[in-house]
A and B are shown apart, each in its own frame.
Chain A
Amino acid sequence: MTARDEILANIRRSLGVTGQEEPRRQAVADRLSRPERGIVPARGQKNGAEAIATFRTYAEAVQTTVAVVSGPAQVPAEAARWLSANNLPARLRMGADARLAAMPWGATTLDVSHGPSAGADLNGVSHAFAGVTETGSLVLLSGPDNPTTINFLPDNHIVVLDSLDLVPALEDVWTRLRAEAGDDPLPRTVNMVTGPSRSGDIDRTIFLGAHGPRALHVIVIDRHATA
């Protein structure tokens, strides 16, 4: 008997089932085909300017910095301003995201390079798939547009978030991914990022910048302001 078969047989013996019982199989099939949302906290259920303000409150509570701009064209200038204000070199790595590519980076003095990070980049910029109002979190998807290495290797991470992608809760991210990608909704990696990297392992005190980015700056494009 293989380990797999033995383990499954042990589970069934312990539970007193055969695995063939129709009500059990139906219960599992129902749960998987119609996921229950469960309890979703009210605090993220906001719209428009209120959603941005709430996202900002929770993001800043975990040392993320947030800037709000009125359109995609303002993003490069804000990125350049933030890097300069923090005495960081005017260099940025980014993936192939078309939304980022369409922004006027050439109008700044930023030196932009493309592709995944191999570890030598000080600054990276990504475009978020979504923002989660409930916790001030960013959701980033792996792939050529926004390589996962940019989320973790650079010391400083800038993330662009379109306010139209702001959702109340993580459950809404799943709903959107299922709607867009169907039966296999997830890319290789979904990163939910809530603040810059930190550790409490030395002296039982939290210090920022353990292994991932030391600083996380979110640039929110406020579509409501321009609408």
Chain B
Amino acid sequence: MTATITSPAFRENAHQALQDKQLQAVLGTMRTGFSVKRAEAAAALPEFEALRDSARDIKNHTLAHLDLYLEQYEAKVTASGGHVHFARDAAEARRIVADICRALGAKTVTKGKSMISEEIGLNDHLEREGFTPIETDLGEYIIQLRHETPSHIIAPAFHLSAAQVEQDFRRVHTQLPPERDLSEPVSLLNEARQALRQHFLAADVGITGANFLIAETGTSVIVTNEGNGDLTQTLPKAHIVLASLEKLVPTLDDCAQMLRVLARSATGQDSSVYTTFSTGARRASDPDGPGAYHVVLLDNGRTGMLGTSFQEMLRCIRCGACMNHCPVYQAVGGHAYGWTYPGPMGSVLTPALIGVDKGGHLPNASTFCGRCESVCPVRIPLPKLMRHWREKEFERHLTPATSRSGLALWGFFARRPWLYRQATRLGAAALALAARGKGKFASLPFASGWTQGRDFPAPEGRTFQAMWAAQAGKRRLAGAQPDVKGQAQ
């Protein structure tokens, strides 16, 4: 619920997460969940790969002309009776939202799911200002009851079991009979539906995020499966949209392209249940809808990413595919990353938004396996961008002294190939001898971090380079054969 930063403690966070049996049981389901569904949905649409190219190109074009599309977007929102508010940073965005709520005499504020709201720590601020914010996305509602933050950008309560949710509902929904049966997960859904329905009807202001903003028409777009975003924005006196600048796309047609890759990449659906295009406030003849429409456009460090290699990160449409496919996320979950955005996209975005001094550990939390890039609907080169952050972290001397001296030692040998070969030859031979033919070590000096969790494989005696050299003669002979045949034909 807050934007408290624990990213500098990533190592400790990750260690705790690995010891958390309940969390590990939940994370174990990831391999058969989102990633399988995404693969099936992608395979079922022959045009999917071409649509990813199209989505990438649309975002690149928009970012290259962002100033002009923003001006067009703003003009269109204003023409349709809405208001656009620009916010340089989190504090300014919070203040704008609170001011709108205050001007309307609001008490209760319902909220659709918005990562920007998490990024700026909006709920705490609204509470301090005397308003009652109520999250209406089921996952967000659950974590609000627990005073937690989302652990996943599209499944905020991903880290929780049904039993934990049942405990929370019994603790909070005290108006309901304590003996009621909540053993079936669907009964939890029904209870939340009843509880939130009253809030939807009573709310004064509804706040949603935006998956896209459309310059052509001044439209904001939300994509949900529950319908909570629609009830949030339709019933109150005012609808406030929170969005960051890079949500913009040029036209309605461009948005249609993006929608095809968003749902498939996120949940494996061909389309989310509710895709809603909102333009301005209630019209004169409308019998329902909000009387006022405000859009708060947040920068918070993004304009500084334009024109750098990190501009590519601004293509991100927040589908969550990168984290669903990430072996590190699958091992430690989202909270370990310590700020709003977890997984590979968070490892690139977080240092840009909160500083490499605070977020610098995150780009190191990658094996560079490349699965994130292989599934990214807008083809963001996430491993490359994480490598750029590692370089920046090293340049700024933020890497720990042990890592730096280790790298310096390796660098000394790597620049002297003969010495490198001798040293690795001696090392491999010594380790093989020390392993006494067992092929592995259960413990090794200076490597307890590794051997605590698993054995360290022992070298068999010769280095790869030595074996490669020994094979060279045979390879030359084998390589000559096709040429001989080729000439004969």
Contact = CB atoms under 8 A, between A and B. Distances in A.
A12 B66 CA distance: 9
Given A135-B271, A210-B193, 4 more contacts: A32-B250, A115-B287, A189-B277, A209-B190
Interface string B56-99: 00100100111111111010000110000111100010000000
A201 interface: yes
Given A39-B54, A188-B280, A189-B276, A32 B230 contact: no
Given A7-B88, A194-B273, A212-B227, A31 B61 contact: yes
Interface stretch (B118-126, B136-144, B333-341, B405-413): B136-144
A53 to B, nearest CB: 17
Interface string A31-59: 11001111101110000000000000010
A5 B481 CA distance: 70
Interface stretch (B42-50, B377-385, B392-400, B453-461): B42-50
Interface in A124-182: 134-135, 137, 142-144, 147-149, 151-153, 169-171, 174
A191 B67 contact: no
Contacts of B190: 209
Contacts of A39: 47, 50-51, 54, 257
Nearest to A151: B230
B435 interface: no
Contact of A152 (B70, B79, B157, B230): B230
Interface residues of A, number: 80
B289 interface: yes
B433 interface: no
B280 to A, nearest CB: 6
A209 B308 CA distance: 45
11 contacts: A3-B88, A3-B92, A15-B66, A24-B65, A118-B201, A147-B287, A147-B288, A188-B282, A189-B276, A202-B185, A211-B200
A12 B307 CA distance: 9
B234 interface: yes
Interface string B249-274: 01111101101100000010111111
A158 B256 CA distance: 25
Given A151-B230, A153-B231, A7 B196 contact: no
B304 interface: yes
Contact of A143 (B46, B217, B283): B283
Interface residues of B, number: 102
Instruction: Tell which of B46, B155, B286 has the most Cβ of chain A within 10 Å.
Output: B286
A99 interface: no
A210 B67 contact: no
A46 to B, nearest CB: 15
A31 B86 contact: no
A14 B47 contact: no
A25 B50 CA distance: 27
A200 interface: yes
A209 B254 CA distance: 31
Given A2-B86, A17-B67, A58-B270, A201 B251 contact: no
Task: Tell me whether chain B's interface is mostly helix, strand or loop, or mixed.
Answer: mixed
B254 A35 contact: yes
A198 interface: yes
B245 interface: yes
Task: Tell me whether chain A's interface is mostly helix, strand or loop, or mixed.
Answer: loop
Contact of B66 (A11, A16, A190, A212): A11
Contacts of A6: 88
Contacts of B308: 14
A35 B253 contact: yes
Interface string B270-307: 11111111111111011111000000010100011111
A28 B279 contact: no
Contact of A211 (B26, B46, B92, B227): B227
Contacts of A190: 276-277
Given A151-B230, A189-B278, A192-B274, A35 B251 contact: yes
A15 B287 CA distance: 45
B71 A144 contact: no
Nearest to B93: A3
B197 to A, nearest CB: 7
B253 A152 contact: no
A205 B274 contact: no
Shortest Cβ-Cβ A-B pairs, 5 listed = A212-B227, A210-B226, A14-B306, A201-B139, A10-B303
Given A17-B67, A32-B72, A38-B54, A119 B197 contact: yes
A16 B311 CA distance: 13
Contacts of B254: 35-36, 38
B368 interface: no
Nearest to B163: A203
